[in-house]
Amino acid sequence: MKNAPRRIDRVGGVIIRRLGRSDYASTWRAMQDFTSARDATTGDEIWLTEHSPIYTLGLAGRREHLLRDNGIAVIKADRGGQVTYHGPGQLVLYTLFDLKRLRLGVRDMVRSLEAAVINWLESHAVAAHGKPAAPGVYVTRNGRESKIAALGLKVRKGCTYHGLAVNIAMDLTPFSDIDPCGYPGLAVTQLCDVGPHRTVEEAGDELGPIVALTLGSR
């Protein structure tokens, strides 16, 4: 991993590492290495970070969902889902969990992550919901359903990596050059437009422990 963790906490038996700004590719490789090396005794971890501008295509990602070339790099990743955008002002929360130990299926994991984000948003008086057919978290802005958090996982050896991307206070313009998550015309929003202002670091300090307690207490 390019950046050493700025701070490490333990919440509900889960280690939370705060990486600050990190390089997408090197962080992805570090997640793969961590998952390959772990065994039944390895503790679960959450990595909090944000990335420089980059588009990522999931395993099923189709390049026709990249509508225009705007100079932002595109990388093919091994997570589920279609295309999404990462950039400064977005909280990326990587979830490295042993599903076998937690006795969770992938769908249960997805619903648990969505529930954690929904609970966090509702603590700030922001009503939010998930959609079984379209993973992620949605809110209503200006009378329109808008996505505020995207979700994509990879499962290897019964363990997950990749995770959540939550829009906090960022330039949303790059989303207009793709079909977000593969859905043409999907509206995208962020916390600062529907709720309180938070930095990425502050949002991570709030949301990370909620995710840890939602999953680690099982």
Catalogue the active-site residues.
Answer: 181
Nearest to 88 by CA among 192, 171, 193: 171
**Rounded to an integer, what distance in angstroms lies between the CA atom of residue 10 and that of residue 117?**
19
Structure tokens belonging to residue 35: 């998952």
Q: Which residues of 105-133 are buried (b: 16+ CB within 10 A; e: fewer)?
A: eeeebbebbbbbbbebbeeeebebebeee
Q: Extract long-range pairs of 111-116: CB within 8 Å, 24+ residues apart.
A: 112/214, 112/215, 113/151, 113/163, 113/164, 113/211, 113/214, 114/149, 114/151, 115/214, 116/207, 116/210, 116/211, 116/214, 116/215
What is the torsional sign of CA 28, 34, 35, 37?
positive
Structure tokens belonging to residue 2: 């390019």
